[in-house]
């Protein structure tokens, strides 16, 4: 028994997931009971099925319960054992002779312990079975109960870890998403531009960055109200997201400012910058629905710059795009 307890302690200490915990447990259960097959099941009460998750079958015996096997829950020995609160029998034929699954598998000795998690939710069972009649002493049954509790603890830990990972993913996405428009925010744009510049340095493919300023946005807020201004920004984000290439990244940089960047698709960088500026102005200009009233927007100021392989500083690149945008804004104001 000391060897069993030592193996049990090592398994608990070394296991990182359910499978690493369960497989040695099944070997321990076989060793202390002499049963031909030991296995862990999961019960799907909605579908009415019991699934064999992990199984340990001795090589010298004929009984073989395969992993992946699914049987109707209502026909299982586990269901009968739970209903009758009878965890062990060495005479299945006389005790539960109506079980077709037991007859087909040739089970005569059966041992089962429910695995419950949380507030008593039935996850499955830890079981042992044999084609011959085998007596199981009380110490072995107590160990079975302890193993089931340890498995339940691991399942609860795994569930908690999965929930924390999901919540962390949601939190990370929220931290990088503009809550109004649903597109990436300033923080996300800085990260992605940094990655894009690293790609430029690896591949040598230039990157175009456009800085968009929505001229006249304050006047929209003043005339139509802030709710209408918010709807305007949302529609701007939708137009940009839907009207550009899949390879282009769109972000709300802050307030009425947006960034768009993506790989250059032409060797004539000056012409492609002009084309991008024209495309963005055309995409954003036009009619918007503000508070049920059609509003014709004259268009934004767009500055476009190019990052080459020697560009490394994100803030410097954005500053250049901002300056290019301001030059366009000044030209628009002067009517040039």
Calculate the alpha carbon distances from 275 to 174, 211, 270 in Å. Answer: 33, 14, 9
Q: Which of 178, 213, 256, 322 is catalytic?
A: 256
- Starting at the earlier edge strand, list the strands of the sheet with 121-130: 70-72, 49-57, 37-44, 121-130, 109-117, 88-89
- Beta-ladder partners of 254: 257
- Integer-rounded Cα Rg, in Å, for the chain is 33
Calculate the alpha carbon distances from 213 to 20, 45, 85, 182, 249 in Å. Answer: 56, 57, 72, 18, 16
Count CB-CB contacts under 10 A for residue 187: 13
Give yes or no for a contact between 301 and 281, defined as CB atoms under 8 angstroms apart.
Answer: no
> Residue 210 belongs to what H/E stretch?
strand 207-213
Residue 83 falls in the annotated catalytic set: no
- CB proximity list for 150: less than 8 A, separation 6 or greater: 12, 21, 25
Among 158, 197, 211, CA closest to 326: 211
Active site residues: 256
């Amino acid at each position: 028994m000391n060897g069993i307890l030592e193996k049990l302690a090592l398994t608990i200490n070394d296991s990182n997931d359910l499978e690493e915990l369960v497989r040695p447990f099944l070997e321990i259960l076989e060793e202390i009971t002499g049963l031909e097959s030991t296995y862990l099941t999961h019960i799907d009460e909605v579908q009415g099925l019991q699934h064999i998750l992990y199984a340990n079958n001795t090589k010298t015996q004929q009984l073989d319960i395969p992993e992946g096997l699914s049987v109707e829950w209502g026909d299982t020995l586990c269901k009968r054992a739970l209903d009758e609160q009878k965890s062990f029998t060495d005479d299945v034929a006389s005790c539960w002779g109506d079980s077709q699954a037991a007859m087909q598998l040739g089970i005569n000795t059966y041992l089962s312990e429910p695995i419950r998690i949380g507030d008593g939710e039935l996850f499955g069972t830890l079981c042992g079975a044999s084609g011959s009649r085998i007596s199981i002493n009380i110490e072995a049954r107590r160990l079975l109960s302890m193993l089931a509790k340890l498995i339940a603890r691991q399942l609860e830990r795994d569930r908690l870890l999965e929930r924390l990972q999901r919540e962390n993913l949601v939190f990370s996405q929220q931290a990088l998403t503009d809550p109004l428009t649903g597109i990436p925010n300033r923080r996300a744009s800085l990260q992605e531009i940094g990655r894009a510049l690293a790609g430029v340095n690896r591949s040598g493919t230039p990157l175009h960055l456009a800085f968009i300023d929505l001229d006249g946005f304050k006047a929209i807020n003043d005339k139509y109200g802030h709710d209408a201004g918010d709807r305007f920004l949302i529609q701007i984000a939708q137009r940009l997201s839907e009207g550009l290439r899949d390879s282009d990244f769109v972000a709300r940089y802050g307030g009425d400012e947006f960034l768009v960047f993506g790989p250059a698709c032409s060797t004539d960088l000056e012409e492609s910058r002009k084309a991008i500026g024209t495309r963005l102005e055309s995409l954003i200009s036009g009619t918007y629905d503000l508070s049920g009233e059609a509003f014709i927007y004259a268009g934004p100021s767009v500055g476009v710059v190019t990052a080459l392989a020697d560009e490394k500083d994100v803030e410097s690149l954005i500053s250049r795009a901002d300056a290019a945008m301001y030059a366009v804004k000044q030209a628009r104001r002067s009517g040039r």
